[in-house]
Structures are given as structure tokens and as C-alpha cells.
Structure 1
Amino acid sequence: MRVLDQIHAHILTRPHLPLSTLSFTLSKILCFAAYRNIRYAKTLLSQIPHPTIFSYNTVMRGFLLQSPSPEPIFMFRKLVRKKFPTSNTFTLAFVLKCCSILPAFEEGKQVHKHVIASGLGENLFVQTSLLNFYTKCEEVELGRKVFDEMTEKNVVAWSAMIGGYARVGMVNEALELFREMQKGGVEPDEVTMVSVISACAMSGALDLGKWLHMFIDKKGIKNDLEVSTALVNMYAKCGCIEKAYEVFQSMPIKDAKAWSSMVVGFAIHGLAKEALHTFAKMEKAKVEPNHVTLLGVLLACAHGGLVAEGKKYWSSMIECGMEPSMEHYGCLVDLFCRANQIDEAYEFVKTMPISPNPVIWRTLLVGCKKNNLLEKGEIVAEQLLELEPLNAENYVLISSLYASRSDWVKMSAVRRQMNERGIKVIPGCSSIEINGHVHEFVMGNWSHSEAEGIKGIISEVSERVEGVGHESLIGSVLHNVGDGEKQDALWEHSERLAIAYGLLKTKSPVVIRVVKNLRVCLDCHEVTKTISKLYDREIIVRDRIRFHKFVNGVCSCQDFW
């Protein structure tokens, strides 16, 4: 940069240079400066008498290589106002990329209008940029419209659309598009594979994930750091932690992201000792941990009930100068609450240097309910509703607090408040992969094409479970109805429907793997333990909190979750 500064200064001392020479020389300096000192490059741009679109594009690209900044959008607006120089395909691609990174959805839509007006709507480069923008902003319907209008689709376009579906949880759509891509003769690359593998991780589709792993080896697709890390993450989130560790061990190079995936993988499986051992190995390998790594460490301590260790790692993080994120604070609160140290958790929250988010207050509320602390629970509930007055989950938690104390009057008042505000409860949803397709079940919903068969299995299972002495924990049902109705409601929980479908469609020793969007209720947890013993089936359930591996009547969480 010092040499560039000297050249720049030398030019400025030559006031009689022809404008064309001045513009050309400053543009050349700008090309080098944009990737070293972007603010300096922006100043240079303002000093060029008649900057070309190439100079604008260079600075816009320079900003994209730095931390997220809206500067490319501001520059594009200036170009549109001035109408000179005219934007080209690179300009549009850069500004759309900026809109996808920030994200800036409304601004991106305005750019799309400009694309159409400028007649560049059919340019493959611009179309791909538009597709990437919409999918990164999680507007997959608009992204699909752009994708379908493309006369020529390259691997980048296919990967962007598949990744868009995976990002919003539309797993079957992502996998179906991958199959279409193969039929169309387009060879997937590493980016495609990471997107599809991520879709499998999200849905818990282990069989498809295994097939993709073999596909990578068979097709000779480069199994780089990103792909290997995606495989580790997929196996861990599909409940196959042993395979995740096998892939991890085979990686010749491991960056912070790879180590973090393994630490978090062990943590969500409740394998605290293994998670902390992996973290120690990471430190020994002199790989600097990132925020996700330390999140995994605190998560492991929380699931393992390791309060002293969790405090130690927290102190080390602060001493190292790493600023805790809201998620880190949430993990420590969770650690205290799981260990029934509600007072310490509450005091910690009150002394936080940043305002606690709703997740932290919800964690505290669950802790209060678990420990029958009604008064403190009501204080926490008040804070929670002040932050999120329209979130159904908050009302459900407050209702459960009162239901656990059989205070039906207050519980009814909460329910009435929900109705008055038009707040609808998010139903429990569980999924299971059968023969390469992910089947979804919603609590109390019998719209599945094989509903009659599932009902038959539910009837048989309930009879056998009750026959060995199980008594339904009807406290899990938050309605002031008769005990019989509460028992019937429990048997319509989404995870039971998914498990029943697994029993209907598979035989032992096939593992039944279920993914649920909410925390497993206490009664479902007990029932699943009993089913695993009665039917001699291994059942793995991934709920919103962690993994539960049920074998012969015992859960891997040891009833601590």
C-alpha cells in the first residue's frame, strides 16, 4: 500500500496531466487498492474524472470481500440516478450478492426490476445471481420461478435451488430436484453435494445420506473439507454418531468448523465426556476454537449435568477475550436450570450485560415449572410476554406451568388471552424416512395415505403398553378435560404416529429414526422406552433439544433432558 500511496501522491502533484491519462492511472491504482484497503479505493473512485463501470464493479467487489456492507447497494443507486456509466452483468451480480449477504430483500427486488428494464433478464450470469439472491433470502417460491424461467441451467443454478429448499426445510423438494438434476445429465459438484447432504441432516434422512456418501465416492466428486464436514454433521444429526466420528477421523485436515461439528455432534447425543475430549484434542492440535465450538462445549456440560466444568469453560472463554453471544448465555442458563439451580440461573440472567432474549426467559420458565416455583415462574412469564406477546409457545409454557399445579382457572385465563389475540398453537410435527421419502406427521392429524394402518398399530401398541402397567402421565395434556380424553390425546402425539408408521413399514433390526420439531413430552418418553422393549426395536428420536436413543426400555439420556 505504501508504494500505491506514493504513486497516487505523485500523480496528484501533476495537475496538467491529460484527463484520459489521469483516469487510466487512477483506475489501475484502484484495481490494486480495492482488495487491500477498500475505503481508500472508494476515495480513489471519487477522484477519477470519468470512472468506467469496470472501476465501479472493482470497488463493489472489494466491499463484498470485506465484512457485510450495504455500500454496493448505495453505489448501484448512484449509478441508476446518474445513468452513467451503464450497469453491466457484473454490476448486477455484485449488487444482488450484496443483497443476499445482508440480507436486503426489498432492495434486491428493486434490482430485479432494473434487470428486467435493462433487458438483461435472460443473461445466465444475472439469472443465477437472482436465483441465489432469492434462495439466500429464503424466498424459495420466487427463486423457483426464476429457476423455471432459465432456458439453460448450469450446476451453479441447480445447486442454488437445491440449497434454497434445504435451507427452509423443504427436504423432499430438495431431494426431488437433485434427482431431476441427475436425469437432466448435469453432473453435481461439491457445492451441490453439501446442499443435498445438509437437507438430509435437517430431516434425519440417514439412508439417503448414506447413499449420497457412496455417490460421492462412486462419481469421484472431490471430498474436500466442506463436503467432509457436511457428512460429519449429517451423520451426527441423523443419529449415527459413530459414523460421524469415523468420517471425522479420516479427514486429513480439520479446520475449526470440522472440529466444531464433531463437538456439537457429541453434545447433542448427550456424550459430554467425548465432546470435551474432542475439544481438548482440538486445543492440542492448536486449532483456534470459534463461537460454535464453545457453544458445543457448554451444550455438552448442560446435557451432562457438569455445572463445575461449564463454569470453568465459561471463565476460560471470558479470559481469552471471546465475547459471548446470546446463544452462549442461553447455554449457561440452560446448564443451571437442568441442574435445578434456578436461583443461580435467575441471578445470572439479571446480571447479563446484554438484554436476555425470549429463548433465555423460556429456559428459565421451564426450569421454574420443573421445580414447582410458581411465583418466580410468573415473574419470568411477565418478562417473556413483554418481549414476545404474540408467540404461541410462550402461552403454552405458561399454561403448562399452571396445569402442573392444577390451577385450571389461571390456565383457562391464559388460553382465553390466546383466543382473544388470535394466537394459534404450533402443533407438534415429526418426520420419518421410509424408502427414501420423508413422511411428516402432525399431532392429531390423520390425513396420511396409510392412516388406517397407523391407527391399527396405535391401537395394538397402546393395548400392549398399558398391559405392562404403564399409566399415562396426563399432566402433559394442557386441557381441562376428562382423564380418558387426555389419554386419547397423548396417543395422537406426532412422534407416536411416526413411530407407529415405522413399526408398520419396517421390521427388526431396522432402526426407527424420528425427528421432532418440539421437545419430547414426558409421557411420550416413557412410552417410547416401553415400545423399544416390547417390540425389541432400537428407536432414535431427535427432538428440538437433543437425541434420545431407546434400546430395551432404556434411553441414552438417562432421563436427564
Structure 2
Amino acid sequence: MGELLRNSISFAIVSYGFGWRYQSCNQSKCRNSVCCRCFYSGLAMKNYKRRVVRCRLNMVSVPVHQCVWFGRLQMKMLRMNLQFESTRIDNKVNVPKMDASIESEMVSEDDENSLIQKGKEEFGLDSLGQNLPPWGKLVVDQSLDFEPRSVAQPSTSSNGKETVHDNKVHFLEERNEEELSRRILMLSRSNKVRSALELCRSMQLSGLQPNAHACNSLLSCLLRNGLLDDTLRTFEFMRRNEIFTGHTYSIILKAIADGQGCDAALDFFVELEGDSEQKKVFDVIVYNTAISICGRLNNWVETERIWRRIQENGYIGTQVTYSMLVSIFVRCYQSELALDAYNEMIQNGLEPREDTMHAVISACTKEGKWDLALSIFQKMLNDGLKPNPVACNALINSLGKGGEVKLAFKIYDVMNSLGHTPDAFTWNSLLGALYRANQHADALHLFERIREQSSLVNLHMYNTALMSCQKLGSWGRALQLLWQMEASGLLVSTASYNLVIGACETARKPKVALQVYDHMIHQKFIPDTFTYLSLIRSCIWGSLWDEVEEILDRVPPNVSLLNAAIHGMCLRRKVKSAKKLYLRMQESGLIPDGKTRALMLQTLGKGRFKVKRLSYRRR
């Protein structure tokens, strides 16, 4: 009730046909810089020739017990302290208890007009639009140090939005808390923010307490209107009076996350977890709210911690709980945790949603569990659900990596029957499945069909086809694909040229391989180790020893290239050339591999190398 005197407010009391009005005065018009409060009466005094009571209430500490009568309404001024506790009067209207002294003065009817005029001059009634005789003057003690505020003036909150000062209060004739709570609920649902706040504040000052349902509705109403500061003040009132439920914390966590950031919301949640009293009202919905906030940050570590806390506290997650867990874990590349959450969901007898099953299929494919992904896919079809193209592609790719080519093409047929159009990922997955199954001719045939029917052919598909050509030794087809790539404007890579050179190596076409190499240099592509390895092996099998020497002289000493050259020379009985390269490796400080040492021992004899080994040990 202290807010009645702390703030500059106005209120009205209507009882038995009489009206009282309380209006705050401007502090600058009061003497000794003392804030004044004035009462005015709307009694119809002109029709009665009776005396009017003029009273002045001064805020002092003298205990006085008197009664002031106004017509049929009796206001009993009891001992009034600074606690501002409410007391009952005969008309069921609450007024504050105050320490006051009452000075009464009887005024005749003749002085009425002068009294009214004096009231107008002293309190500026004309500016207030009032034509009522004053009841007296209420002078507030300076020691109370109240901060005056203007009536119903919104201020700006910390988040840049206006906040509603709930300064205006009402004297409530209705005393039923449930009825008043129902009114707050209806006002909040109607989005009448100011009226709901005023009614809630009036209940507080009257010693009444709204129920949790009404307060939660008021919190939601304030948030809809962007009034975060008022929301937090209302929440603090609810915490002090223990009017909170799990839904209350869910609302506040969302409000803090939206207004102050997800990190602040998570910090507040941890604080609530540490309070054993407030933690008692926690439910799964509160944990779901915290998990959703973690999902905004992709914080899978905190998500897992909250999930474990749900289990420790004996709660059972809902369908929403596990859907969020699976989604967050898959998004954060924690496929194993996603599968654990899904398995727990099935164990608890909960039916996964469509988006959950899509996410689990993705997690299964990343973990290589194509059998589980296939069973979930089949369950979706049996339930009348329509798997999306992403799930179909993921399953096709997983089956292809698992060597299940027939199943992969069956899923492709199902994908077409569902009305999904295959994309580049679909074709890449099918080509990859055929290549891994060593069905290279089928892969080339599928590539030709894709190139004729679709414009989605990309560099990866060309490279897969070139890999099949390399395995088959189809160097002519590889050259044809290379010219097509260059003509189509694709950014041909060094790997593509390496595959063509590899196809020439498989087909024992060293001269063609050297021509491709020269074309590669002409196109300003930089050869790598794989390029030179393929060229050296191809030239060795073609007995192009000069070209081998030229390639080795062109590049810096490389242990892989020297090992490959020595292997080939030993197998082709080029002992002198192999010995020369072996000594070159030793001089360069390169360490030959075991196969190279074994070949040199077998070719040049064991005795000499034993002597060298002993001399090396002596050193």
C-alpha cells in the first residue's frame, strides 16, 4: 500500500452516492518543499444547510483515534504507521493506516463559496477541471523520502521498449480472490495490459493474492507487448509470494532468451536449478524450454547435461523432448548421442514424429548403420508418411557405401514414386555405389544416361566415370571424357588428369600418358606426386628409361618416386639403374622402404650389404 503515497496518483471512491477524489498536488506549490496530497468531495452540499467539516491531516507521530464523518460514510482514522497496512471501514473500502493528527474546523454555509474558491486557488482546481469543495490537505512528512512520479506516464525500459507504470490502483469492493483472478485472466487474454496490471496491483495493495494461472496469463500478455521489464517485475512479485508454477519458469526463460540472450537464460536456469525450493515446481516443460534455448546456440554439451538431469530427477521426456534432442545432436554432428536419444524414446513407448525420423535416418547414415535407417524408412512408408528427398538421398548413399547396390536402386525407385526429383547428390550416390561394387561398366552406362537426360552433371560425376575408366583400362573413353569436361567449361582439376594418366597406365599406353602430361602442363596445371608416380610406372612398363630419368631429374628428390622407380627397375632387371637410384637416395638422406631394401638385397647379393651393415654398426 506504500505505493499509494510513493507515487503521484489519483483515485476515486464511490460509496452510498457520494464521491471522493484523491489528487496529488504539485510539490512546488507546497510550503517548505513538502509533498502534499489533497482529498476532494463531491457531496451535494448546496441543497443542505449544514456545516461542512474541513480537516487537515498532518503526517506526525502522535497516536490519535478519531472519526471523520462525511454524510452516511464514516472514515475511521486509526493509528497509521509507515507500514501502510490496510484497514477496513464501514463501507468495505480499504484505506491505509497512518500516524496522523486531525484538526477539524466547523465552517458555516456562508463560508462555503469562499472555501471552494480558496481550494481552487490553492490547488489549481480549474486546471484539473474540478468544481468540488476540498476536504482538506494531506501533508506528507519529508522524512519519508518518497519519489513522486507522474500519473500513467510510460517510461523506457532497458530493452528500449516502453514499460507501463502500474501506479493507478482501485479500491476493490469485490473481495473474492478467484473472481478477481478471473478478471485478470480475461483482461490479459484480451491484451488489455494496463487494466490487467492495475487490477493486479490493486489486489496486492488490498492484501489479496491472484492465483498462478492469472499471473502466468499476465506474464504472457506483457511479453506479447514487448514489456520485458514489467514482466520481470511481475515475476519477482510472484517469486516473493510463491505464486509460481513450472509454466511460469518456461515463460520467463523464453523472455530472457529473447530479450537478454540465450546465455543469460541458461545462466538463470542454472540458478533456478540450484534453488531446491523453486526446483520443486520444475517439470518436463521447463527442461524442454532450456533444451530449446540450447538448440539456438547449438550447444550440444549443455543439451546433454540437461537431458541427463531429466533422467536423474526421475522425469520421462515427452515427444517434444526427444525430437529436440535428436535434432540438436544431428545438427551438431553428434550422431551417436542422437541415436541414444532415439532408442530411449522408443523404450519409453513414444511415437517419433516425422522430422525426428528424418533426423535419425541422417544420423544412421553417418554412423554407417544403414540397416536401422532402412527399417525407419520402411516404417515411415507403412505409416503413410512421405520421406523427404534428403532422407532418400542419405539412405541411398549409405546403402551404396555398404555395398547394397540393389537396395540403393530400390530406394531410388521409391523416391521416384513419391514424386521426388533426383538431384546431383542422388546421381553421385548411385554412381559411387556401382563403382564400389566393381560394376564399372554399369557406372559408365549410368553416367551416359545421366549426361543425356539431365544437366546436373558435375565434376564429381566425371571423376567417378574416369575412375571406372581407370579400373577398366579404357584409356580412349577416359580421353573422350576429358575433352568433354574441358569443352563444357567445368573447372578440370589435377586429379582428373591423374585419372586419365592412370587409365593409360592400366592400358599400357605410356606415350599417350606422356601426351596427357604435356597437355596438362600446357593448361598450366601443376602435377603432384600421384601424377609423377603414374608416369614413372607407365614409362617403366613401356621401357622408356630416358623418360624416367628425365622425370626424376625434373622433380626434387622424393622418396616415393625413387622407391617406385627402383621397384620397377629391379623387376625389369635394370640392376645398374636401380643401384644408381639407390645410392642417390642414400646421398640425399632419404630412407628407402622395406620393399626397396629387399629387392636390392635379392638383386645385388647379400655379402656386400652385410659388410656395409657391419661397418655402419662399427661407426
Pick the TM interval, shorter chain.
0.3 to 0.5
Rg comparison, structure with higher value: 2
Tell me which protein shows more helix as a share of its residues.
1
The structure, 1 or 2, with the larger RCO (C-alpha pairs under 8 Å, 6+ apart) is 1
Tell me which protein shows more strand as a share of its residues.
2
